[in-house]
Amino acid sequence: MTGNDYRDRIAAYVHDNFHKHGLEVYTEVGLGKTIIGKRRKLDVFIRQRDEPLALGLECKYQATSGTTDEKVPYALADLEAMWIPGCLVYAGAGWSSGVLHTLEGSRNAVFCDPPERGLRDPAKTVELDYVLASVFGLWEIVIPEGRRFESERQLTLPGAGLRRVTEAPRPRVKPRKAGVGAKVRSSSG
């Protein structure tokens, strides 16, 4: 797979799975200057229709060892310098262990290896899904409804009476009759 093939796979994945949520996908978009003063061209630019939100993606695929490793630190630094949120999306088995460690530890790099065209495969796309949810507020996509916390309601018995939870129950005491065995206190002391 070439770098352009991978870029197109990422663009198709975002379009196929997030277009219905108002995301529009563009490829090879010029956006300002890089950290060394060159014209920047983003691999994938995503914007939310009718909103000012946007995300830039740099896509890197490494099938065998090669020069892409050397470009990763520069690409991460350049994404940090953009005026919009940016992320390096990567896949492939050819990354060196050092660069793979850098990618896995970076806040601005996510692994994503979607199928050619099709439905989401959370095992292979979840990191990019979280970034999209975070930037565009699409939390319903990554957080299952079944995980929503709901407090259990306590049962109340009819006729039990109401009292504050902080009050201890008062013991019932039978009044004593004055007389046998009862002490009478005087108020004089």
DSSP letters for 119-176 = S--HHHHHHHHHHHHHHHT-HHHHS-GGG---PPPPP--TTS----TTSPPPPP-PPP
**pTM of the predicted protein model:** 0.75
Q: Read off φ and ψ for residue 13, nearest 5 degrees.
A: -60, -50
Residue 97 within a domain = yes
Q: Which residues contact 110 (CB under 8 A, 6 or more apart)?
A: 87, 88, 89, 90, 127, 128, 130, 131
**Residue 83, domain CATH:** 3.40.1350
Q: What is the mean pLDDT of residues 125-145?
A: 92
How many structural domains comprise the chain?
A: 1
Determine contact, residues 114/125, Cβ cutoff 8 Å: yes
Q: What is the pLDDT of residues 42-53, one digit of tens each?
A: 999 999 999 999
Q: How confident is the model at residue 187 (pLDDT cuts 50, 70, 90)?
A: low
| 160, pLDDT greater than 70 | no
- Phi, psi (degrees; rounded to nearest 5) at 58: -105, 130
Residue 167 maps to a domain: no
Domain containing residue 38: 3-142
Contact 129, 122 (CB under 8 A): yes
H/E stretch holding 10 reads helix 3-18
| Residues 11-34, mean pLDDT to the nearest whole number | 94
Q: Is the pLDDT reported for residue 189 higher than 70?
A: no
The answer to whether residue 163 sits within a structural domain is no
In a domain, 158, yes or no: no
Is position 150 within any domain? no
Beta-bridged to residue 23, according to DSSP, are 48
Per-residue model confidence as pLDDT tens digits over 111-128: 999 987 767 788 899 999
Residue 159's pLDDT band (cuts 50, 70, 90): low
Q: What is the mean pLDDT of residues 68-82?
A: 88
In-domain check, residue 172? no
